[in-house]
Structure 1
Amino acid sequence: MGATDLLDDAQLLFERAQAHKRELNGLLGAGPDLLWNIGRSISPEGQHRAELRINRRAQRRAKPVLADVANNLVHALDHVTAAARKSAGLPNPRNLYFPIERDDDDYAKAIEKKVAIHLDQPWINIFTAAREAHRPYLHYLQLVRILSRESKHWELATGTAGALAVQWFPPGSPQHRIVEMPADHFAANDSYAICEAAEPFPNVGVQIVTNYRVAGEDIEEASLESVLSTSFTFVSGVIATSREYLATLPFPS
């Protein structure tokens, strides 16, 4: 056993976050019982109508999954701080958390009052270097913590689902058809007509260009994919750098 084994729990939580992310992506995709689908109907005049529909039930089911992603990312970081304590053979202080503050003054206070009293300077250097490398995206990291905290104490975040366009290739045609729609249309509506014709909408593959946005406290809406991809990169980097440092240490007795 080596000191790097102390990061096993952090790694497991990170992998669990990845599994929840795959589940979330599935729910927010297109198909039966998922967030998006193509509905077909016939008007009283006999016209065939196709429309893009949003499934609010799927959006509701995605709420706890998003919370699981955020929780596991935040917990993985906290387990890095636990590994740091264990590497020194020290007990677990109940007020030690990985510092995720986007404001520089708040970060400095967190380091001084909550981190430096428990961890040695090399760990603070690791955390600070990771923060500096992600400085343009600190509001994304803060948002993940907000989503985690609110899911436990206040509410599950829903997020805002939107669709920008639908594209398909009519049978026998080399030219695709594309229908654009207002980005905020599905904030207040559950469907958008994409085709009305005398013939049924063809049974072909349809590409839907969608977006999903989340917000929290004083952080404006941001792309969920951008928030999570940045956070996954950050957490994996912290774990990797911590593993490199632990590899230089003996396993605590």
Structure 2
Amino acid sequence: MPLMKLTTGRIYFRLEGEPGLPVLALLHPIGADHSLWDQVVPLLLPTHQVLRPDLRGHGGSDTEPGDRSLDQFVGDVIDLCGALGISSLHLCGISLGGFVAASVAKRRPELVRSLTLCSTAVKLLPPPGGWDGRAAAVRAQGMAFLADGMVQRMVSPGHRQEAAVGTLRTVFVRTDPEGYAGACAVLGEADLSQIAPGVAAATLIVTGEQDALVPADAGKALLSHLAQAEHVSLPCGHFPPIEVPAAFARELLRWTGQRTGVGDC
């Protein structure tokens, strides 16, 4: 199992593709893991090495008690890249992963060749009861009671019965409640209006036309905070890599290809 031992704990990751190709790192949302990208990765491998870490407290990565900070997630990604000898990459994140990706781009501008923020708003709307309430609930009750509501809220009606959504639900239920609760603290405080102005990388903003959490208008609102940015909307809910993997990969390859000369399709 590919685990990298960092000073802050062990991080599970997958690095796939031909060495020497441009690296594209994919950061998942809260309550998910590297498998969220399974349908997209085969479409990216002809032109990229693909790095998929499990964020701290998720999947196969270590979990420790207590709230997380955005800086901890950012440090994990930067340290993992350093340990793997990656000095330049394209970076894409969804929701929580988007906040982490933008923060990496701000902290290490020389590392990030391009940035893609998917289903990421200036601030995410809190769930009923707020992020603190959500954290307390999963610590007390576990993850399963939230799973059906997550699918109903995040996945558009035409895709809810697909196998990939079943996998998404299973991973969500198996997520360590402490890891999920710790990440809730990050989402409660994360504010891209404080991060994005420091991002120099050209940024693609992707939203789903049927995403109730981050609608297209929320994606467009990000444009004014970024120096170089473009917005596209896809016919899906909160998880484009699951609902419309081919369309999402096409936009991602177009964006990274414009900055490396490969992968544009």
Specify the TM-score bucket, using the shorter chain as the normaliser. under 0.3
Name the TM-score, length of structure 1 as normaliser. Answer: 0.25
Name the TM-score, length of structure 2 as normaliser. Answer: 0.24
More helix by share: 1
